[in-house]
Amino acid sequence: QVQLVQSGAEVKKPGASTKVSCKASGYTFSAYGVGWVRVAPEQGLEWVGWISADSGNTDYAQKFQGRVTMTTDTSTSTAYLELRSLRSDDTAVYYCVLVIAGSPFEYWGQGTLVAVSS
């Protein structure tokens, strides 16, 4: 069965960077993409962007352009989200999702809390 297992919670200071991992299993990793969605406290779901595991092509939400980098390691079936220049309003739970063209997000990781605080 499809599983997406994310790295553990992190606490970061403003201006720092974070790199969250998402290890996939149960499907052919390079056949699909991995997306990232976040939920900040008292906020709704927010789309961050996605990466094609096959081509490495990325599509980032405009809000995060210049601060975000998504990568994949096909040898370990792992996707990564790096967010730089962290601010307090980046405090959120970040979820990875399996991206299949034309399909909704049926498979989600368990979420990774990134807390930004001085």
Residues that bind another protein (CB under 8 A): 35, 37, 39, 43-47, 49, 59, 61-62, 95, 102-106, 108-111
Residue spans of beta strands (DSSP E) within 26-90: 33-39, 45-52, 58-60, 68-73, 78-83
Distance in angstroms (rounded) separating the CA atoms of residues 76 and 39: 27
Cβ closest to another protein, residue 39 vs residue 115: 39
Residue 59 Cβ vs another protein, minimum distance, rounded to whole Å:
6
Cβ closest to another protein, residue 15 vs residue 56: 56
Amino acid identity, residue 62? Q
Cβ closest to another protein, residue 75 vs residue 103: 103
